[in-house]
Amino acid sequence: MNEQQLTAYIHENNIQKIKYAFADIDGILRGKIIHTKKFLDGLQSGYGFCDVVFGWDSADVCYDDVKVTGWHTGYPDKACHVDLSTFRTVPWQDNIPFFLGDFSDADGNGLAACPRSLLKRITKECADLGFYPEFAQEFEWFNFRETSQSLQDKHFANLQPLTPGMFGYSILRLSENSAFCDDLVSLLDKFNIPLEGFHTETGPGVYEAALMHTHVIEAADRAVLFKTAVKEIAYKHGIIANFMAKWNESLPGCGGHVHQSLWNKDQTDNLFYDANDVNKMSELHKQYLAGQLYCLPHILPMYAPTINSYKRLIEGAWAPTTITWSVENRTTAFRVVNSSKGYTRLETRIPGADTNPYLVMAAALASGLYGIKNKLKLDVPQTVGNGYQNKTNGTIQPNLYEAATDMQKSAIAKEILGADFVEHFTQTRLWEWRQFAKSVTDWELKRYFEII
């Protein structure tokens, strides 16, 4: 809808309120419900929104060392603009109109801390090179028969999974909770988040959903909305949905893999495909992959942004630990899928379900374009067999501190993502590390309380 059509729609349907939101640095949707008059008045000038949402962490605790906002600025309002192309209605909330937005100044320049603005900038670079980026993210997540209150009452311990047992790809488990599963698929589709596939994964109460592929910005919008939508639909069924990378050391982690390809501008030709190549990979595809392999150590916190992310990245747990690639090999960091021309793509397997989709896709696209712009050669040999054992090209950093410190110092990260973004983002990740480092964990109590 354009502005005129939207105004007519609002008046014709006697709509009194609008919901809008945007993603913060952690991918958490922050937003408001506003009166339609305020909404229509702000379509041109934007809506004032306190920029503390980029000055605090996921627990609403203010950062101590970021420049974009803080006590030194007084936490002012900044202009948040809605994107009319994101219009949809929320089917489980009486079809209230909903929009996504992002932060930019009067000249249209994105706020350095705004993830969607970052992705828009990198997508423009992609378009300027003549490419159409086709992306999709897939998510694994655990479900529990709990409520927000019971989580607090139980101190997040002894939680009841939605179903017992492992049951990967089980039709039985989908049938057992058919009302919830049916709601997920049908309501997400009505919310303009069509699923390409949906099934159980290995673990008690685990589901996996692959989102339909589309243009990278729409793909990231859908992925951000997907996580919140799943949580809200789950609430209606007395279920808590959990997107942590690894909630239990004895169970598999939850991935958030990103699938991507570049097409010509009219979307008629997959530029990653070459029928004459042994792996059906075009030179462009190889350059793109080479860029991701090269940039990975410089931008890892974009793919693994939390303390918990690195608990998933361990050997033999269906998540990569080495900087490797292969065709149809799920032990490597990058998996080439080449089953047909229309579906030839690259799967970046490092990201977990805890990621911010805007940042994941921005990192993947920016590093791939780096390889194309610099015509990098794919000189890392394809891994044959167990990718965990192939450490010849390096391993993934073991924790958030090392990854964020490396990114903070990286000239490559600043080149492809912008120095202001890198400064802000890495400060937030190092803050996360400091919060963890000073906490006393259950493991420490069990380990040392009596015996030491």
Domain stops at, among 111, 135, 166: 111
Domain stops at, among 64, 80, 111: 111
Domain stops at, among 61, 80, 111: 111
Task: Looking at the structure, tell me whether residues 138 and 105 fall in a common domain.
Answer: no
Strands of 187-289 (E only): list them.
Answer: 195-200, 206-211, 214-215, 240-242, 258-263
Q: What mean pLDDT value characterizes the chain?
A: 97
pLDDT in tens, 337-366: 999 999 999 999 999 999 999 999 999 999
pLDDT in tens, 412-421: 999 999 999 9
Task: Looking at the structure, tell me whether residues 284 and 367 fall in a common domain.
Answer: yes
Q: How confident is the model over 243-252, as a mean pLDDT? A: 96
In a domain, residue 64? The reply is yes
Task: Looking at the structure, tell me whether residues 104 and 240 fall in a common domain.
Answer: no
In a domain, residue 59? The reply is yes
Task: Looking at the structure, tell me whether residues 166 and 244 fall in a common domain.
Answer: yes
In a domain, residue 452? The reply is no
Is the model's pLDDT at 253 over the cut of 60? yes
Task: Provide CB contacts within 8 A for 340, sequence distance 6+.
Answer: none
In a domain, residue 117? The reply is no
Tokens matching residue 17: 């309120």
Tell me the sheet residues that pair with 101: 82
| CB-CB contact of 327 with 279 (8 Å) | yes
In a domain, residue 378? The reply is yes
Number of structural domains (the chain) is 2
In Å, what is the CA distance from 378 to each residue of 40, 287, 325, 372, 375? 51, 6, 10, 11, 9
pLDDT of the residue at 37: 96
Task: Looking at the structure, tell me whether residues 52 and 196 fall in a common domain.
Answer: no
Q: Predicted confidence band at 105 (pLDDT cuts at 50, 70, 90)?
A: low
In a domain, residue 451? The reply is no
The percentage of the chain sitting over the pLDDT mark of 70, rounded to a whole number, equals 99
Task: Looking at the structure, tell me whether residues 107 and 38 fall in a common domain.
Answer: yes
* Domain range enclosing 77: 3-111
Is the model's pLDDT at 289 over the cut of 60? yes
Is the model's pLDDT at 107 over the cut of 70? no
DSSP 6-29: HHHHHHHTT--EEEEEEE-TTS-E
Task: Looking at the structure, tell me whether residues 209 and 305 fall in a common domain.
Answer: yes
- Please identify which residue in the block is written with the tokens 């462009």: 284
CATH code at 83? 3.10.20.70
pLDDT of the residue at 110: 82
Task: Looking at the structure, tell me whether residues 219 and 368 fall in a common domain.
Answer: yes
Task: Looking at the structure, tell me whether residues 107 and 131 fall in a common domain.
Answer: no
Q: How confident is the model over 258-265, as a mean pLDDT? A: 98
pLDDT of the residue at 209: 98
pLDDT of the residue at 45: 86
Task: Looking at the structure, tell me whether residues 84 and 156 fall in a common domain.
Answer: no
Q: Which of 401, 394, 410 is nearest to 434 (CA)?
A: 401
Question: In this predicted structure, which of 94-108, 271-285, 299-313 has the lowest mean pLDDT?
Answer: 94-108
Task: Looking at the structure, tell me whether residues 67 and 185 fall in a common domain.
Answer: no
Task: Looking at the structure, tell me whether residues 107 and 148 fall in a common domain.
Answer: no
Q: How confident is the model over 70-82, as a mean pLDDT? A: 94
Q: Which of 86, 25, 90, 76 is nearest to 404 (CA)?
A: 25
pTM of the model: 0.97
pLDDT of the residue at 449: 96
Which residue type is seen at 339?
S
Is the model's pLDDT at 79 over the cut of 60? yes
CATH code at 340? 3.30.590.10
In a domain, residue 118? The reply is no
